[in-house]
Chains A and B, each alone.
Chain A
């Protein structure tokens, strides 16, 4: 049984961590938006996706969030005609990663928004704790 005043901090910290992981995956996707294979007909970089799940924290009885697993996006790759490319297949087509910049940007903004909300909770919980401590201050 942990102090009910610090339980929100714990939960928000888990949220912050999950959103950071999500942000990392988004940046991996963006960085590899043009990564092709290096042998003829090889598959390029496959977009990564994050899955969240809530997990019960035994100590405080709250449900924290954690990154369940990092999966791969199964949508088909884009193809481009570029016969000189090392990854081009027999008919001259190169497979490009299935990363869509707009989707990644939207995902990034959502992660950002959730992160800010978590930070706000941390701020308010800290304020509540210091209000309680201030009770001990002699006036």
Chain B
């Protein structure tokens, strides 16, 4: 798909936004479980790591073939982050840290969306002339 696409940036932005929403889910998980005993905080692996992964897709030799692959970058592997503190009941979620992360995700997402918007405008400018 990537090779066919004349402009690679949309694909990249799509992957990035998907990665960001997965990360937001991980943050939401941590905040929701901030008081659950024995819960360990989790985080997704960095975006560059998911980007470098090669995925083998099956070739469709007939237009009737259905694609088996689901949406790409579902659940980037969960990593144990280094936490700030750990309470006596085995929970190491720090709400402050999670909210900082949520803000980060939100800002990155906004950046991503504006890039797509700008690029789309450029594209439309070239199409309309």
Residues of A within 8 A of B (CB): 1, 4-5, 7-9, 11-12, 14-15, 18-19, 22, 51-54, 60-65, 110, 113-114, 117-118, 120-121, 124-125, 127-128, 131-132, 134-135, 139
CB atoms of A15 and B32 under 8 A apart: yes
14 contacts between A and B (CB under 8 A): A1-B71, A4-B25, A8-B21, A15-B33, A54-B39, A62-B25, A63-B29, A113-B95, A117-B31, A120-B99, A120-B102, A124-B106, A128-B109, A132-B113
Q: What's the least CB distance linking B25 to chain A, in Å?
A: 4
The SS class assigned to the B binding surface is helix
Q: How many residues of B contact A (CB 8 A)?
A: 36
CB atoms of A54 and B36 under 8 A apart: yes
Which residues of B are found within 8 Å of A131, using beta-carbon distances? 109-110, 113
Nearest residue (CB) in A for B26 is A62
CB atoms of A128 and B33 under 8 A apart: no
CB atoms of A61 and B75 under 8 A apart: yes
The SS class assigned to the A binding surface is helix
Which residues of A are found within 8 Å of B31, using beta-carbon distances? 11-12, 15, 114, 117-118, 121
The answer for the CA separation of A12 and B27 in the assembled complex, in Å, is: 10
The answer for the CA separation of A23 and B21 in the assembled complex, in Å, is: 30
CB atoms of B95 and A51 under 8 A apart: no
Q: What's the least CB distance linking B81 to chain A, in Å?
A: 15
